[in-house]
Every structure is written in structure tokens, then in C-alpha cells.
Amino acid sequence: MVTAVAGLALFLFLRGGIQRGGQLEFLGIMKYTWSTVHEWAGMIMLILIIVHLLLHLDWITGMTKKVFSGILWKNIKK
């Protein structure tokens, strides 16, 4: 959620910078702070996704085997 909010702030309100006459501040927070928050939130989210996948690796491999064995079995029966 933090990544999405920071990304939207950067995309919608802090696009141009000084060169294009845009604002460098949104909701009292400077553009470089929004960018830093966006990057760190993205890194944390990536780490949490990897941990989540590792915690459920048994389920993922089991379901993958189940799905592919069903597909192979149906092809053999024909």
C-alpha cells in the first residue's frame, strides 16, 4: 500500500520537477522523500513476497504436481 501511494504521488503530482515548472513537494513531503519511501517499500514488499513463497513452497510444489499429473493422465487415457 505504501508503495502504491508513493508511486501515485510521484506519478500524478511530482512528475516534472524544476525544469518543467512542477512542484517538488506534495502533502508537505519532498519529491526525493517520496522516491525513497517508494523504493524502500518496494524492497520490503519483494522480501515479504519471497518469504511468503518460501513458507508455502510445499503447497506450491504439491499443487503443481497435482495439476500436471492430472493433465498427463488425461492425455494418456485418450
Number of domains in the chain: 1
Convert the pLDDT of each residue in 16-42 to its tens digit: 655 555 557 777 877 778 788 888 888
- Band (pLDDT 50/70/90 cuts) for residue 47 is very high
- Whole domain around residue 43: which residue ranges? 2-77
DSSP codes, 12-75: IISSS-TTTT--SEETTEEHHHHHHHHHHHHHHHHHHHHHHHHHTHHHHHHHHHHHHHHHHHHH
